[in-house]
Amino acid sequence: MTRVSIVGASGYVGGELLRLLLWHPEVTVVQATSGRNAGRYLYQVHPNLRGRTSLQFVHPDKLEPCDLLFLALPHGEAARAMQRYTGLAERIIDCSADFRLSDPAAYKRWYGEDHPAPEWLGRFVYGLPEVSREALRGAKYASGVGCNATASNLALLPLVRAGLIDTSKPVLIEVKVGSSEGGASSTDSSHHPERAGAVRSFAPVGHRHTAEIEQVTGLSTPHLSITSVELVRGALATAHAFAVRPIADKDLWQAYRGFAKEQPFVRLVKERQGIYRYPEPKILAGSNFADLGFALDPESGRIVSICAIDNLMKGAAGSAVQCMNLMLGFEETLGLEFPGLHPV
């Protein structure tokens, strides 16, 4: 069995990693760290794990060597301590934004400071298997992915790869997101009377995940807006692009089908009848699937591409475990087959 530990295991991504890894048939979770919760049982922070493990959180200073480390730390902390972590484990998957961007200049532009460890940037593979599958096989270091970036990238990639987007025109992406994207710490704005029922434009422009969309799609003009809605889990990206030439629905079917057939966790949802005719994040809660759909306005050539994910799964912990499977030579889908709930 492969021995894995999770650093920063008390947050929502850490909790999802624990849920997935404690049931993974090829790994053993040996340590889960939390400075604030050291000594407490995992279930006292993640109640869904009650009765399934006797592990207790350990202080980060007590971290011991293992085969693979998952880092689920606040922004900047992983980069500042890479020497320590690489001395403890041969392989690392960092779920933060620290190693997602390969270009230090892009990091400075979007994060407002020089990268703390630029020499490590080129050593991390971008952790979205739908983009980096072959590079992840056997890799030692993988980054995490941004949840909004992932929903946006998966919405756009079928069109980008098929060369269907008119890159002289803007590409607009609106992402509707659940409250768990805000993390496990509360703020005044997350107080229930303020948050409940709100449809909150919290990043109409300038969201940092724009950098990941530029890097993955190669598009120079993605315009990203984020709106938080009445969901706990889930992200729904609705991307608007214009076709580079006159196309029909069948051309789009071909492009999306060609992309999805290579991806074990990508499904096409475009139904003419039924309740869920387009991707719906609600029924993906707890699942690693990304559902893609599309529509074409033949008059204007506008393509609307839609992607639904669970932000904590395909947008974070699920993709990280998928990366681990590739890095360690396991079946890519191992431990990730849960299809979600309906009704929920």
- How distant is the alpha carbon of residue 183 from its chain centre? 14
Catalytic residue flag (residue 147):
yes
CB-wise, 192 or 250, nearer to other proteins? 250
Give the separation between CA 317 and CA 18, rounded to whole angstroms: 9
- In the complex, minimum distance from the CB of residue 249 to other proteins, in angstroms, rounded to a whole number: 7
Least CB distance from residue 173 to other proteins, whole Å? 23
- 102 vs 254, which CB is nearer to other proteins? 254
Name the residue among 236, 216, 126 with its Cα closest to residue 176: 236
Distance CA 295, CA 252 (A): 9
What's the min distance (Å) between Cβ of 293 and other proteins? 10
- DSSP string over 67-110: EEEEE---TTHHHHTHHHHHHHEEEEEE-SSTTS-S-HHHHHHH
- Tokens linked to 135: 């590079």
Catalytic residue among 95, 147, 307, 323: 147
Nearest CA among 96, 58, 93 for reference residue 76: 96
* Contact present, 117 and 152 (Cβ < 8 Å): no
**Least gap, CB of 273 to other proteins (angstroms):** 5
Q: How far apart are CA 208 and CA 200, in angstroms?
A: 18
Distance of CA 265 to the CA centre of its chain: 13
Instruction: Give the nearer residue to other proteins in terms of CB position, either 25 or 274.
Output: 274
Q: How far apart are CA 97 and CA 100, in angstroms?
A: 5
End-to-end CA distance of the chain: 35
Residues that bind other proteins (CB under 8 A): 249-250, 253-254, 257, 268, 270-274, 277
Smaller CB distance to other proteins: residue 89 or 252?
252
Q: What is the nearest approach in angstroms of other proteins to the Cβ of residue 232?
A: 24
Active-site positions read: 147
